[in-house]
Amino acid sequence: MVEVSRHRQLSTFWHRALLTASVLAMLLSAYQLFNVGSFLMDSSNLGGLPLLVSQTVGVNLNLLGLQYLYWLLLLLLPFVFIYWPGHKGAPMDRVPWYDVGLFLLTAAVSLYYVMRGGRILDEGWEYEVPEDAVEAQYLAYVLWILVLDATRRAGGMAIFIIVALFSVYPFVADQLPGILLASSPDWTEIGNRMAMSNEAIFGIPMRAFGTLVIGFLIFGVALQHTGGGSFFLNLAFALLGHVRGGPAKVAIFASGLMGSMSGSVVTNVLTTGVMTIPTMKRVGFRPAYAGGVEACASTGGVLMPPIMGATAFVMALFLEVPYKEVAIAAVIPSVLYYFGLFMQIDAYAARHKLEGLPPAEMPSLKQTMKEGWYFIAVFALLIWMLVFLNQETIAPYYASALLIILNQIFPYHRWDKEKFWEFIASVGKLFAELAALLAGIGLIVGALVVTGKIGNLASDLLALAGGSTIILLLMGAFTSFVLGIGMTVTAAYVFLAIALAPALIKGGMDPMSVHMFIFYWGMLSFITPPVALGAYAAAPIAKAPPMRTGFEAMRLGSIIYFIPFFFVFDPAFIWQGPIGQTGLLFTQAAAGIIFVAGGLQGYLLFVGSLAHTVLGWIARMGMIVGGLMLAMPGNDIIGWSNVELAIGAAILIGIGVSAAIIGRKDQPIAESAG
């Protein structure tokens, strides 16, 4: 939700400066993550020369975590003030003097901490700054303010207000009532902890950026700039464009893969939607429905492994597990989501007799694979290194290198010098944006840590919910959704991972399930009115009313509202249990989703149209409720076992199917309704 969505057109000087910073940031990340510093500092390597140089000039070639993050901030944060204007009336064709001043100030403050990074770590400046460096505690507040403004520019006013409010919490925590009451440290300690510890600005979000996110960002941008998007779109059309409701099914396939690359719902809608939405309308899909399909497909892409956006990497650090465990846990939920979307589209197309595009207009599958097989090969390499070699930090670098090499070998999307620098610039802009956002989000974490509130918040929330886990879950779902309206998904997730997740885990729930639950519900604001940013981005392309597009997206994506409860009630849904139980739950859920989709769209496989008068609506309601009961795992929280739910589901579905068959004799309602 970027309030100032326009970007400045950079002059040659600033463009080259951004390119330089981008290249240095990529080299620095590779240097750190491939552990080059340790190799150089080993006196047995290169004749001990690097160690001698290090001791002579006082430069540590082996960067520790905080020092590395200070370097990244120095290279990236200043450019937020250059690329993103500070207000709507700011000049767009040049950089005003005050933004140049902020650029220089940010660079100077960051450089100060870079130069003193070793002492900060060795002497524990986060608790007490030595007398010969007292300026550090004042510069901490300067950095704090600069990060806040960078967050505002990159993320918009909504997230700025939320982060700013949390920033002042440590100063007033000892004066607040009830659950908000906490200790308020001395102002110097607050500033020191925010800027010189690994708990706030340089806490988990920024650490995730520096260790995990940065490599996958490079890979995602490389995919887009080497034609990965057009390949997956053509592949989707070649496979599915000719079948019933084909263009909508293409949107599912293509947007799912594109969303996995970009990590952004709105970007996904704007890139794939310009192709899929017009073709959906062409074969007979209503404009609002077509926009809703694209919004849902793009939203699901951010939840799809192997690349799930920055939030999944932050989650891995919170859970202290390898990223591959988060990606594997997301497989079944994302498959169920897309399966539900696919079945609804198929039912809608069957009910309204919507055909696919003529085969003659489809791209050749053989030609598509000939020109883009190496994209699949690169994905295979990435997954192999993630899952089997456990090389999650360096896997995207190898995948990116292989992709760029293969791209230059084959003539289809070969880069010239101009395209190469476009790639570098895109990486730099994305780096700067995410660095600003994640540094700002870190202030939320820091505020709760520095006041000590993080230690007793779980107990306070459990007491507030009266000890009821289900009430706490519902509170979490609602809060995740509301925060997803005003904040980035990562910010909403981080806040609730600190505030709510410990309470749910303390109540007996599986940690991975709890964190995935928060993540999923934070995404729902993209398809739920009155916000529905994904739907609103699709509406102009579809030439449909935004609110109506939002409601269509909400109905199409309805299964995603229930999937988080599936895996939080039974962690076997996300492989946190016996394999046999996982298979049984997946089968039940898939069968239930078929009936839910049929009820929502008024058409059931092997039964036909449910568009009948009273009996038709009875059939649809029976299938929706019965399908949800079949898909939902039984447990003590909801008070029903799997067997009881299955019996109830069978009764309701049986009533629904019977009503549908009997209702064939009734006068059908207009096919365009529902």
20-48: pLDDT as tens digits: 999 999 999 999 888 876 666 555 555 45
pLDDT at 172: 92
Contact 68, 34 (CB under 8 A): no
Q: At 135, is the pLDDT very low, low, confident or very high (cuts 50, 70, 90)?
A: very high
Helix (H) or strand (E) holding 301: helix 287-301
Q: Which has more pLDDT, 371 or 52?
A: 371
**Residue 264 predicted with pLDDT over 80:** no
The percent of residues in the chain predicted with pLDDT above 70, rounded, is 91
d(CA 227, CA 372): 8
Average pLDDT over residues 421-447: 92
CA-based angle 432:435:441, to the nearest 5? 140
Q: Which residue shows structure tokens 């890979």?
A: 219
Contact 63, 211 (CB under 8 A): no
pLDDT value of position 85: 93
100-131 confidence digits (pLDDT tens): 999 999 999 999 999 988 888 888 888 888 88
Minimal CA–CA distance to 228: which of 399, 22, 361?
399
Q: In the predicted model, is pLDDT for residue 673 greater than 70?
A: no
490 or 46, higher pLDDT: 490
Which residues, at least 6 apart from 459, have a Cβ–Cβ distance to it below 8 Å?
Answer: 503, 506
Q: Residue 6: is its pLDDT beyond 80?
A: no
Note the pTM of the prediction, 2 decimals. Answer: 0.85
pLDDT at position 138: 93
Task: Give the Å distances, CA to CA, from 20 to 26, 97, 209, 485.
Answer: 10, 21, 20, 35
Distance CA 578, CA 567 (A): 14
pLDDT for 449: 87
Rounded Cα–Cα distance for residues 481 and 474 (Å): 11
- Judged by DSSP in three states, 118 sits in helix
Mean of pLDDT values over 252-279: 79
Residue 96: exposed, middle, or buried by beta-carbon count in 10 A (0-12, 13-18, 19+)?
Answer: middle
Of the candidates 474, 478, 453, 452, the residue with the CA atom closest to the CA atom of residue 465? 474
Confidence check: pLDDT of 5 > 50: no
Q: Is 85 left (phi over 0), alpha (psi -120 to 50) or beta?
A: beta
Q: In 5-48, which ranges are continuous DSSP H helix?
A: 12-33, 36-41
Model confidence pLDDT, tens digit, residues 164-215: 998 999 999 889 887 788 888 888 899 999 999 888 999 888 998 998 889 9
Query: Residue 53 — very low, low, confident or very high, per pLDDT cuts 50/70/90?
Result: very low
| Average pLDDT over all residues of the chain | 85
Question: What are the residue ranges spanned by the domains of the chain?
Answer: 12-204, 587-674
Cα 418 from Cα 440, distance rounded (Å): 33
What residue has token string 């009830």? 178
Percentage of residues in the chain having pLDDT higher than 90: 34
> What pLDDT does 671 receive?
43
Rounded distance between C-alpha atoms, residue 306 and residue 563, angstroms? 19
| Rounded CA Rg of the chain | 26
Give the per-residue pLDDT at 358.
87
Q: Which residues contact 585 (CB under 8 A, 6 or more apart)?
A: 566, 570, 572, 573, 633
Report the relative pairing of strands 608-609 and 603-604 from DSSP bridges. antiparallel
Average the pLDDT over each of 8-17, 376-385, 392-401, 500-509 and give the range with the smallest value: 500-509
